[in-house]
Amino acid sequence: MICRKSAAVEAVLVVAVSLSVFACSHGSQKTTVQSQESSYLPIHLAAGTFDPLSESDRMALPREWTLDRYPKREAGYYIVQFKGPVLEAWKGAVVSAGARLFDYIPQFAYIAKMTQAARGRLQAMDSVRWIGIYQPGFRVAADLRASIPGRGDQPVVVIVSLFPGEGSPHLLSEINRLGGEILETSETNDRLRLRIPAKRISGLSRLGGVKWIDKVPEFKLSPTPSKRSEE
């Protein structure tokens, strides 16, 4: 009789411990996800670093380097930041919702092309932390952007990187309309070297297919040391 009671008690204890472990494990996982959502997760762009959910860590851009929205039915480029290390299932869900993913950006973010309707579907996903426009100011090297004020019509030679499939005649005509002179095009049509008035670079960065704009490196030859005459 005692043996039977002991066995029954042990069985109850095993079940209780199992439930307790499961509850602790489940609670721990939930806490981890919540901590990732609320923790500091900066986005590291070549143009600067910021956490989009931190009021004190926003990347401030002048008005001429920002867009409020894309036209309603036009696909535009956005940054999509996930809540933690990116799972293939999360990426698959984003693509299924109508977005096309491009470059990865630390931490846990991608540049993506989508319509406003697709953006609404992504914002409803539990895996997505933040979605924001890939602003014109994000597409320009910080030192180039800082050198523009006061240069007016002074021509600047820049390298422009384009997103895949964006090297269309329409984009090239828009560059010409801004006063840009295309000096060279890569074989894959995704990189351009062009000369453009400095004040037009902000307009260039607003063109949809533009991924990145940077100055052409300047190489200066050091003067050859003169040989001392032998006495």
- Tell me if 36 is assigned to some domain: no
- Tell me if 78 is assigned to some domain: yes
Q: Are residues 53 and 128 in the same domain?
A: yes
Where among 77, 103, 138 does a domain terminate? 138
Can you give the CATH number for the domain in which 77 is found? 3.30.70.80
Is 214 in a helix, a strand, or coil? Answer: strand
Question: One-letter amino acid identity for 116?
Answer: Q
Q: Are residues 177 and 121 in the same domain?
A: no
Tell me the two tokens of residue 197: 């008035």
- Structural domain including 87 reads 43-138
- Tell me if 22 is assigned to some domain: no
Count of structural domains, the chain:
2
Q: Tell me how far apart the alpha carbons of residues 65 and 221 are, in angstroms, rounded to a whole number.
A: 35
Residue 29: which pLDDT band, with cuts at 50, 70 and 90? Answer: very low
- Tell me if 112 is assigned to some domain: yes
32 against 201, higher pLDDT: 201
- Tell me if 64 is assigned to some domain: yes
State the pLDDT at residue 9.
Answer: 40
pLDDT tens digits for 118-151? 999 999 999 999 999 999 999 999 999 999 998 9
For residue 218, give every residue at least 6 positions away whose Cβ sits within 8 Å of its Cβ, in sequence order, or none: none
Where among 88, 118, 138 does a domain terminate? 138
Q: Are residues 133 and 144 in the same domain?
A: no
For residue 137, give every residue at least 6 positions away whose Cβ sits within 8 Å of its Cβ, in sequence order, or none: 47, 59, 61, 62, 65, 66, 145, 205
State the pLDDT at residue 221.
Answer: 56
Which whole number is the average pLDDT over 102-116?
Answer: 97
pLDDT tens digits for 63-100? 999 999 998 889 999 999 999 999 999 999 999 999 99
Q: Global pTM?
A: 0.78
Q: Are residues 163 and 183 in the same domain?
A: yes
